Amino acid sequence: MIELNVMLCKGCSYCIKFCPKKILELGTDRNKFGHFYPHLTDEAKCISCGICATICPEGAIELPEKEKEEQ
Ligand code: SF4
Ligand code: SF4
């Protein structure tokens, strides 16, 4: 499962484009800077691959569970 820091998101949609499971999509809410941000459409399908976190130019996505596993 990913964690999104909504305030860092610029709504660029790169994470949506590159998610191999196609489970990210922009929602209808905006953050306080006016950017729409993504959410998971089906959490159970997330394979914690980390591609969204790697591709995000704003560093808005983290994978806390994966980090814990690696420690
Ligand atoms: S970790 Fe992988 S599967 Fe999960 S949302 Fe990100 S890109 Fe998609
Ligand atoms: S790649 Fe990052 S900044 Fe772009 S929409 Fe996804 S979370 Fe937001």
pLDDT in tens, 17-54: 999 999 999 999 999 999 999 999 999 999 999 999 99
**Contact yes or no for 35/26 (Cβ under 8 A):** no
C-alpha–C-alpha distance, residues 47 and 11, integer Å: 22
Residue 49 structure tokens: 């691959």
Q: Please name each of the domains of the chain with its CATH number.
A: 3-70 (3.30.70.20)
Distance 70 CA to ligand 1 centre (A): 17
Q: Please tell me the predicted confidence (pLDDT) of residue 60.
A: 98
pLDDT value, residue 71: 56
- Tell which one of 56, 62, 63 to mutate to probe ligand 2, the residue whose CB is within 8 A of the most ligand atoms: 56
What's the pLDDT score for residue 67?
A: 53
29 sits in the region (left: phi over 0; alpha: psi -120 to 50; else beta) called beta
Q: Is 14 in the pocket of ligand 2 (CB under 6 A)?
A: yes
Confidence of residue 64 (pLDDT cuts 50, 70, 90): confident
CA dist 62 and 29 (Å) reads 20
**Which residue, 4, 69, 71, is CA-closest to 38?**
4
Average pLDDT of span 6-13: 98
Q: What is the pLDDT of residue 66?
A: 56
